[in-house]
Structure 1
């Protein structure tokens, strides 16, 4: 069957409209009821909707199209399901405490979620689009690029899933102690394995989706669309490394351990030194054995493993400000 043309030859408009409508519905519910139960679920499930929608509109059910869609839907189902389960158990999401009651700040988060879902979904959107599907003969599924893409996705999915399960399990058991960084399971080899796994997943999906571009009969516009969808894994990598991922996780964690040793309510004099030792031996993103990582010089950790200064809580630069803020908060509570 021929692909269904909807608004444009790339399915850019229809996927954007569906994403905006779905996210704005979620925002309306979350804002009206002032709760966080559906926020992350709406983001994850949106990927499932776009993958299924574009597959059905494209009307091409080759193995590659089906496998690519299934991989996205499996990833989205696990992510949305886990995040929904976690927030239901926790009762609320502390990330939104400062913006939940502010209309424009809260709306800004949902607009960002629209950009995230729509951009990262581009590889499957392009694969199913009329521009690619109307080009005639395409390589059969099973090329080396296909296999590599599936393997990279599978490794990333296993890392991300295992990391989330392990951290949730140990937190439910009450371990590790609050004065120690979490380093159980695969978290011994990376400070943020879920981010690393997610990055691998989207590079794998992109590798799988661009295989038709190797066909000599494919049009130049189709090739450009497929190769251009590299914006998806690049955006994912940059977002997690410089946006809502590492920067928002690393410094607050460092601040927490610093205040445990130096703050107005210091409870463990050795917590800050122990945390610094943890940083010195644990890769920030890529899974890597501790014994090897620890012996690498600092320049190699920064240049090869991208453990950049922007992630770190600087005792001299940030310490005084953190203590002052903690003291002011303490006075406000009294």
Structure 2
């Protein structure tokens, strides 16, 4: 297992730091998210390839990570190309050392979220599927559909010229203010649960995958940044304040 994690970390940071050099020279962040999701797909595929047995649960788990990476990576890349820039990097893209920190953090994040899958893919010897696998895969399916549908609804909303400058309150966005983030947390939680029947000892620390995802999205770079931006744009709009008051932030039906 150590060999799998070591090789994965070396490839991960090799890609991130190489991309940092190119991004710093070009002063662009346009392929930042694509590099992250692409690295996740590559590491998952390689960790499965390195295991000669490739048992069913490993193939399913890996397929789920790859499906997530392909969908989200292409979605985010298309979005940033259309927007022209990612405002998260407004004070970063022209400063190589700050930019390096962002690319390094992405490398750490990738190893953390992939840890349950990388550990699972390093295992040998098959066992019967348990309720943990079925529960985890179900959570992943719900989360993946939530995230994909929320992204689709928001994209369609903003592509309508009549909605320029407006905020979305329809579809899943009428139930919670951040349904895409709820989906992201659910799917990584599911992947930990489905791998947990093969985890023991220190390997259970790979629960950091869903925990870190939840912390980043709810406390650092996800919800806080979006809601701060929302208040700057619509903070004086009574309808927006009403939406904030009446719509749960993340968990449906909890005000």
Q: Tell me the TM-score range normalised by the shorter chain.
A: over 0.9
Check whether the contact 1:37–1:88 (CA below 8 A) recurs between aligned residues.
yes
State the partner residue of 1:139.
Answer: 127
Matches within 5 A, 1:42-57: 42-57=35-50
Check whether the contact 1:187–1:193 (CA below 8 A) recurs between aligned residues.
yes
- Separation in 1, partners of 2:22, 2:243: 41
Matches within 5 A, 1:116-195: 116-129=109-122, 132-133=123-124, 136=125, 138-141=126-129, 143-178=130-165, 180-195=166-181
Deviations 1:109-167 (A, max 9, x none): 111111111111000111122xx32xx4x4223x2111111110000000000111111
- Separation in 2, partners of 1:191, 1:250: 9
Check whether the contact 2:158–2:164 (CA below 8 A) recurs between aligned residues.
no
Aligned length: 255
Q: List runs of 5+ in structure 1 lacking aligned partners.
A: 214-222, 262-270, 294-300, 302-334
Cα deviation, residue 43, structure 1:
0.8
Matches within 5 A, 1:65-76: 65-76=58-69
Matched, 1:276 2:241: yes
Q: For the structure 1 residues 76 and 225, does the alpha-carbon distance in structure 2 shift closer, same or farther, using more than 3 Å as the test?
A: farther
Q: Would you tell me which structure has more helix in proportion to its own residues?
A: 2
State the partner residue of 1:285.
Answer: 250
Aligned-residue CA RMSD (Å):
1.6
- Separation in 2, partners of 1:62, 1:172: 43
2:163 aligns to what SS in structure 1? coil
- Separation in 1, partners of 2:25, 2:147: 32
The alignment's TM-score, normalised by the length of structure 2, stands at: 0.94
Check whether the contact 1:181–1:278 (CA below 8 A) recurs between aligned residues.
no
Q: For the structure 1 residues 92 and 251, does the alpha-carbon distance in structure 2 shift closer, same or farther, using more than 3 Å as the test?
A: closer
2:36 aligns to what SS in structure 1? helix
Check whether the contact 2:24–2:96 (CA below 8 A) recurs between aligned residues.
yes
Cα deviation, residue 36, structure 1:
2.5
- Separation in 2, partners of 1:107, 1:151: 37
Matched, 1:235 2:228: no
Deviations 1:44-82 (A, max 9, x none): 111101111111112221110000000000001101111
Larger radius of gyration: 1
Regions of 4+ moved over 4 Å: none
Q: Which has the higher contact order (CA 8 A, sep 6+)?
A: 2
- Separation in 1, partners of 2:252, 2:105: 28
- Separation in 2, partners of 1:60, 1:153: 24
State the partner residue of 2:182.
Answer: 196
